[in-house]
A and B are shown apart, each in its own frame.
Chain A
Amino acid sequence: MTSPSKTKRTYFLLALFLALRAFGNLSLAWGTKHLPETLAADPMVYLRSMLDPGVAAGIVMLIVAMLVRLALLSVADLSFILPMTAIGYVLAAALGRFFLQEPVSLRRWLAVGLIFAGAALVGSTPQATSGKIEGAQ
């Protein structure tokens, strides 16, 4: 049903999406922390902030991440992608922990374990089940 090359492609797109989103958010956070002005209700401040290279790079990465997710949705089910992309929460928490050097509590380890176990279980199901894609082939 699902060819090995299609499976490989799905995981490649998934990894690309997770990396782009994680580093996009990191770049955005890093960029905004270096801004001379605080982000307030004034929309001009937001527009000016986009001139900052960190913010601009972050926005570009997040836009590309969204496009990659669309490509991912073209090869796999929504109900397949949703739990798999939750691995991003683990990545975000891990990056945050790493940079803030906070200890990881037992509860967080448990959460990470549950997310990975759940993702592995979902990953063992066929990635595209809603069948006939109009216009394909």
Chain B
Amino acid sequence: MTWILVVVIVVATALSDLLQSFEMKRAGEQSVGARGLRRLLGMVVARRYLVLSIVCLAFSFFAFMALVQSAPLSFAVPASASSFILETVLAKVWLKEQIGPRRAAGTLLVLCGVVLLGR
């Protein structure tokens, strides 16, 4: 059960972020003033991919709550942080982001840090 929850968290988080990134790259630069925030809120309820990303986020949230109920936080945090790797790889493949050696190395360092912090 524990590992099923981890998989749900990792996949749902990755899917949510990829959908959001894809949609926001398409939308172009957004502002965060009062009008900008209202516009963003409108996009969240109107754009199909963003609605779907919120559904994924909800799945990941409730799966994480279920996970921390049974597994220790010191396992839950690093386990769910593995979505980092999946998301970075998929960002390269699907979103065509360029991940050079510097960004890859930096991401790995951060991942090690997060895992260490969670222990």
A70 touching B24 by the CB < 8 A rule?
yes
Which residues of A from 62 to 101 have beta carbons under 8 Å from B?
64, 67-71, 73-75, 77-80, 82-83, 86, 89-90, 93
Q: With A86-B113, A117-B109, A121-B109 known to touch, is A79 a contact of B102 (CB < 8 Å)?
A: no
Of A107, A114, A125, A130, which contacts B110 at CB under 8 A? A114
Interface status of B114 (Cβ within 8 A of chain A): yes
Which residues of B from 71 to 112 have beta carbons under 8 Å from A?
84, 87-88, 91-92, 95-100, 102-103, 105-112
B26 touching A133 by the CB < 8 A rule?
yes
Residues 120-137 of A, flagged 1 when their CB comes within 8 A of B and 0 if not, give 111111100111011110
Residues of B within 8 A of A133 (CB): 25-26, 28-29
Of A71, A78, A114, A135, which contacts B109 at CB under 8 A? A114
Q: How many residues of B contact A (CB 8 A)?
A: 46
A114 touching B112 by the CB < 8 A rule?
yes
Q: How many A-B residue pairs have CB under 8 A?
A: 152
Taken together as a complex, chains A and B put the C-alpha atoms of A125 and B50 apart, in Å, by 27
CB distance from A61 to the nearest CB of B (A): 12
Taken together as a complex, chains A and B put the C-alpha atoms of A59 and B32 apart, in Å, by 18
A131 touching B96 by the CB < 8 A rule?
yes
Of A79, A129, A136, which contacts B107 at CB under 8 A? A79
Residues 97-114 of A, flagged 1 when their CB comes within 8 A of B and 0 if not, give 000000000011011111
CB distance from A29 to the nearest CB of B (A): 14
Residues of B within 8 A of A129 (CB): 97-98
Residues of B within 8 A of A112 (CB): 113, 117
B113 touching A113 by the CB < 8 A rule?
yes
Listed in ascending order, the chain B residues whose CB lies under 8 Å from chain A are 17-18, 20-21, 24-32, 36-37, 40-41, 43-44, 50, 84, 87-88, 91-92, 95-100, 102-103, 105-114, 116-117, 119
Closest 5 CB pairs of A and B: A118-B109, A121-B106, A114-B113, A118-B110, A115-B113
